[in-house]
A and B are shown apart, each in its own frame.
Chain A
Amino acid sequence: MTDTSVLLQCQKVQLQLPGGFVLGPLSFALEAGKIYGLLGANGAGKSTLLQVLAALRSPDQGQVLLQQQPLQQLEPRARARQLAYLSQQQPPTDMTVQQLLQLGLMPHKALWQADSRADKAAMEAALSQVGLADKASALLRHLSGGEQQRAHLARVLVQQACILLLDEPVNHLDIRYQHQLLATLRCSGLTVLASFHDINLAAAYCDELLMLQHGELLAAGTPAQVLQPQLLEQVYGRPCLVDTSPFGQHCRVTFAPECR
């Protein structure tokens, strides 16, 4: 019997990159409405995995199922209506924030369709969610790195997909916006898979964590199950202490500093 709560499923996905790096074989499933954190050291394969799930790369073996359908067989626009992707780096362009958000609406638009009043309201709502309500007509390249990142997150929100694949979404953001955005995602009810370098942030906001090492899934489960000192030391090469955060029931990881 198939589990109806599973939105995205990775079945023995394997991919070899030109440099010799091998991702997988990976098998896991993402359930509806949960926030998943993707952890791992540099070069563990986090971005590559997100690209495979976003159908930007085809796996050599195995397949990805989106709502029981093979991802590669879906029509591109139909896929983009269900799956939104935010890459790690965005080249600067001559585009206003408003135009970027219009791109987010693209999968829902026929070629000749202009933006409706509802679209404009959706764009305004997304902009205020990321704290950029007053920057709609600003050129992207005139914004700071953090503001650009927030504009891109607004674009992903406007896309109205049920699954968000975010490659280091809180990169460049100050502490306030890191928490504000992750809280927004938590309240949205969407399924999110996001890669993180800040383990404590992931532990505070994610329902489940996936830990990658050398392209393989080392551990998966709740933050309490995954964030084990031995496992963290194996991945990051530093001894650490795992306890409970004074601000809630989630784990807190403190790595031992290098001798000074």
Chain B
Amino acid sequence: MTRQRVLQLLLLAGALAVSVLTALQIGVVDLPLWSLLTGQATDPLPQQIFWQLRLPRVLLAGLAGAALALCGALLQLLSRNELADPYLFGVVSGAALGATISSLLFPALALALPAAAFAGALIAILLVLTLAQRATTQGMQSLSTLLLTGLAVSFCASAIASLLLYQADSFAANRIMFWLMGSLSHADWLAVQLLAVSLAVTLVVCSLGRRQLMALAWSDDMAKSLGVAVSRWRLLLLLLCALLTAVVVAYCGGIGFVGLMIPHLIRLLFGGQILTLLFGSALGGAIFLIWVDTAARSALAPQELPIGILTALCGSAFFLLLISRRRSPNE
């Protein structure tokens, strides 16, 4: 990596640190951040709010943003399609179906919803990969098969979930609707740890396999002729993406557009070189979601806005801006 790229990434990392510190200070309760961090605070209430609520929430926002944006960038590279995002491959629909079933069967169990959503997401992605693999061995194009299978599984899971919701009582339906709009209010340390480990593993795999990724992003033939075990690498990276998305969806619900928008933005700002794109997307996604979550919990405080609504608004505004800027001067 050139010195310029390293500087760009360091700049983003600095912006992330500032974002975390600022977001920690914004909230319904004013917290003495410095004395809390240095252990000088004695009052238990601010301590509890800081360590049990605000810190895990800000960290989860950062990690979820990083995970979604990194998955988006990875999937765009792997599918050679700038419109790919983590919600492809049926992950969200699978998670929503899992959440719906758990809400209907175990409405009182708090942990059942994220667990069922996680299971639903993983089952969906495994189904997509298995079906796509079978179609590919029968001679179909692997990439388009994968995208089409993802779409098919996605629609099927959505249809079943809608049917169940249609039959369900309005309380369960409301609960699921709210979950689907996305929220970080269920943040806890387990979610933070799970996501941090999955994210770290994915980043290490991407760094080690940077050459393989570069070749895969180019073309399957190029990668094969350079000795890359194409199917094995693609499967590994897709599974990592599925894992990251499933954890995010299970704990935070539906947060759209981050995986689509942030890699585009990073490509615009820093160019499309692999490591800059992947690490830049992770950092950029973290910064973005921390700020959006801060806005979601403080704009109408003490009421919370679903975060998915805000990310979708930002995403559509971003793409409209992009389209208007792309228009040639003659038009």
Give me the interface of A with B, judged by CB distance under 8 Å.
Answer: 18, 51, 54-56, 76-81, 83-85, 87, 90-91, 93-96, 99, 102-104, 106-107, 109, 111-112, 137, 159
Contacts and interface: CB of A to CB of B under 8 A. Distances in A.
A81 B227 CA distance: 8
B319 interface: no
A94 B273 contact: yes
Contacts of B212: 106
Nearest to B212: A106
B219 A80 contact: no
Contact of A109 (B139, B211, B215): B211
Interface residues of B, number: 23
A55 B224 contact: yes
A65 B218 CA distance: 28
Contacts of A99: 214, 273
| Residue picked from A81, A85, A99, A106, most chain B C-beta under 10 Å | A106
Contacts of B211: 102-103, 106, 109
Given A18-B139, A111-B208, A112-B208, A95 B214 contact: yes
B11 interface: no
B46 interface: no
A24 B44 CA distance: 81
A54 B227 contact: no
Contacts of A93: 217-218, 272
A94 B213 CA distance: 13
A140 to B, nearest CB: 10
A26 to B, nearest CB: 20
B222 interface: yes
Contacts of A103: 211, 214-215, 218, 222, 226
B226 A104 contact: yes
B271 interface: yes
A79 B273 CA distance: 27
5 contacts: A80-B225, A94-B267, A103-B214, A106-B212, A106-B215
Interface of B: 2, 139, 208-209, 211-212, 214-215, 217-219, 221-222, 224-229, 267, 271-273
Contact of A51 (B214, B215, B221, B228): B221
Contacts of B273: 94-96, 99
A106 B211 CA distance: 7
Contacts of A85: 221, 225
A87 B2 CA distance: 29
Contacts of B271: 94
A226 B208 CA distance: 49
B226 A87 contact: no
Contacts of A51: 221
A87 B221 contact: yes
A191 B138 CA distance: 35
B139 A84 contact: no
Contact of B225 (A84, A94, A95): A84
B225 A106 contact: no
A119 to B, nearest CB: 12
A80 B139 CA distance: 24
Nearest to B227: A80
B221 A56 contact: yes
Contacts of A79: 227
Contacts of B225: 54-56, 80, 83-85, 87
A44 B139 CA distance: 22
A95 B221 CA distance: 17
B224 A56 contact: yes
Given A18-B139, A94-B271, A94-B273, A80 B226 contact: yes
A91 B226 contact: no
Contacts of A54: 224-225
A91 B212 CA distance: 17
Contacts of A87: 219, 221-222, 225
A159 B105 CA distance: 59
A12 B2 CA distance: 50
B269 to A, nearest CB: 13
Contacts of A95: 214, 218, 273
Contacts of B229: 76
A156 to B, nearest CB: 9
A48 to B, nearest CB: 12
| Residue picked from B217, B218, B222, most chain A C-beta under 10 Å | B222
